[in-house]
Every structure is written in structure tokens, then in C-alpha cells.
Structure 1
Amino acid sequence: MTAHTLRPATPADCTAIVGLIRELAVFEKLEHLVVVTPATLEHQLFGPRPAAEAVVAETDGQVVAFALFFTNFSTFLGKPGLYLEDLYVQPAHRGSGLGKALLQHLAALAVQRGCGRFEWCVLDWNENAIRFYEKMGATVMPDWRICRVTGPALAALGGG
């Protein structure tokens, strides 16, 4: 079994992370929505007011997986939460324990930071991921739906 290393992402990882984001988008059939560049990602992860954080997994010096996350807040708990935006492991490295290791790493980080929740979304057709997450102790919330406003609708709602 190949040894993997988990570590916080650095600015030098942004090109590799964007490559993995593109692979994820192809898998999810959403590649037409990807506009992120290494420069924009670097600004959001490492700029003056970071919007998110990332952890990468390396094998043989190559970034083969990532998890991108940020802090949210639960009004009911009165505590911060950790929200996993995306987790992706390249197909050649699936089944190696990397996905589990990334989730465990982020759960430990959530505990360390005093978070009341660790949560994320999963596509309803991704049965493999749903089974994997449930095996890890996650509850898939059947009664909740994501609401999203983007582009012209966001500008209109914001008064633009």
C-alpha cells in the first residue's frame, strides 16, 4: 500500500487543487460551471481575508486528493461548525483510505476548534458516496434542500 501524507494546503498547491476541482466537476457532470483559477483560489485561501481552508493528500510528492472547508455557524447550538465544500480523491487512489483519512482529519479539527457540527452535501445520485458517508457515521438529512442564488438572480436580489 502506498503511503499518503495529509497536510494543510500551501499557495504552491493551488494549481494541483484546481486540477482536482476540474476532475471533480467532470465526475459530477458540472465542468461547465468551473471558472476557478489557481490565482483566484490562492487569493481565497491565502489572501488577506481567507474564505476557506484546504487540506491536501500527497503520494510520491504528487497531490492526489483534497478537502476544501470553511467555518459556518449554528444558531441553534450557538457554536461554529465546519462545512466541507468539496472532497475529492483521484480514482487511482480510491479505496486506499484517503477519503476516510481526510474526513477523520477534518472531524478532529472540528473537535479541536470547538465546533458543534461537521457537515457537507452529497449528490442524491452518488450512492457510493452516500454509503461511504453513512458508514463513517454521517446522517443524510432527507428533509433539507439546498437553496442557491447566483449570477443575475443574485445581483437582482442584492438590489443591483
Structure 2
Amino acid sequence: MAGAAALPPAPGPTPTTTLPENHPIGHPLFTRIRLATKSDIPHIHKLIHNLAAFERLGHHCSATESSLSSTLFPNNPNPSPPFHSFTVFLLELSPTSTPFLSPHPTSSLFPPISKSFNFDPPISDPESHLFKSSETDSIVAGFVLFFPNYSTFLAKPGFYIEDLFVRECYRSKGFGKMLVAAVAAQAAKMGYGRVEWVVLDWNVKAIKFYEEMGAQIMKDWKICRLSGHALQAYYANAA
């Protein structure tokens, strides 16, 4: 499942830490993008299934917490460092900055990206109790999962975004753009050549959003996929 489509159709308000004079003070919302850890698997699992439902592909989603844990965070004595295998950025939100004042255990591997916003009226999150972070007193609002690929034409590695998802009540606020920008910035920092993802052709809002971000929609390319019985048949024939 490649789900880089479920995000807002247009950029949200400009992040700010200070407000201009006479600007009406709204309700602050502090955000942080950080590396996910194994303890985040329950939230990642719920987000993936929400994404599958959004894409009308829930019947194809068989991921479990156990299968995600064993593949994203395997018990390996020499695990791959972040960005050299499957990597997940998690988006956390809080009405106060307190949860984000202390460094996260993964901060040495990836300094978290923090921004503040002001919204009026405040965002209502009816599922906040289901997405409360296990590590901080904050709410998980979205994620992006990506991994390295390679371009022979550029002779450079890049990143492929497999899943990008922002929960419904937080869409059209600029948070999807933050997640894509975090991956793009990391790719540029590492000297990578490009970042790629796919979008469902019916999701015209997401297509417009990506184009506004500067992404080129590759209309001449189609995804080819071997999976399930078709994939297993090759193993059976080779045996």
C-alpha cells in the first residue's frame, strides 16, 4: 500500500512563535516532528488503518502491531541507522510547549522540528484519547513513512514516501506540508537526488496540493505491482 495522498489540499497558516502587535491572539498549538520509536507502534498501526480507510483500501490492509513492530523495529543487534532503512516521522501536537521542552531519546539521531501555530477557533479532536502519546503528554496527529531508493539516471540515492497521513481534524492546517518538508530537507541534507511518492488519481485535492509544493506529477508513469498469489507463484516455480 502506497498512501502518500491523505493530506490537506492547501497550505495552512504560517507558523509563528510571536504575533504582530494588535494581532488577535488565537489558541496556541505547539507541534513537533520526531523520529518514531518502537513504543509508537500502537499509534502507527491505528494511523495506517485510518489511511487505508481514507483511500478506500481497508480490505487490503492486514498490518498488525506485531508485524509492524518486527519489520519497522526488528530485534537486530546491529540495526540500520535512521534514513538507511524504513524510517517514520511522527507529528505530535500540544496546547502547551511543556511536552516538548525535554529532549526526546532520538534527538541525537534527528533533532526534532518544532513550530507553533495559533488557531481560532481551536481544533476539536474527538479522538484525542486514542492518540495520546505514550512518551509525552501530547497528541499524535500524523506520520510519514519513507525509505531509501536509488536513481541510476542521477547516480544518487533518494527517498520514497510510502505513507503520508494527517488525521482528519488536523487537515488543511499546514501539517501535511510540514511532514513532506521534513523528508525533503533530510534528503537534501544527505545529498540525495530526489523524493518520490504516489497519489491516487481521484484525490484531486491532494494532487493540487502537491503541485503547489513544487512536485511534478508524472502522468506518463504507471505503478506495476506483484503481490499476493502472483508474487508467491514465482517462489513456487523456482523451488
TM-score by length of 2: 0.64
Whichever of the two has the greater Rg, that structure is: 2
- Matched residues in 2 for 1:78 and 1:42: separation? 32
Q: Which is richer in helix?
A: 1
SS at match of 1:134: helix
- Matched residues in 2 for 1:2 and 1:127: separation? 28
1:33 to 53, 57, 60: 60
Letter in 2 for 1:128: K
1:53 to 61, 66, 87: 87
Structure 2 segments unaligned to the other structure (5+ residues): 1-27, 95-137
Identity %: 45
Is residue 90 of structure 1 aligned with residue 171 of structure 2? no
Is residue 142 of structure 1 aligned with residue 219 of structure 2? yes
Moved over 3 A (4+): none
Letter in 2 for 1:142: K
TM-score by length of 1: 0.95
> 1:11-160 alignment to 2 at 5 Å?
11-47=38-74, 48=76, 51-60=85-94, 61-158=138-235, 159=237
Letter in 1 for 2:210: Y
Give aligned pairs, total: 160
Partner of 2:127: none
How far residue 87 of structure 1 moved from its aligned partner, in angstroms, is 0.3
Partner of 1:9: 36
Higher relative contact order (CA 8 A, sep 6+): 2
**CA offsets 1:11-47 (integer angstroms, 9 cap, x no match):** 1111101101111101100001111112211222221
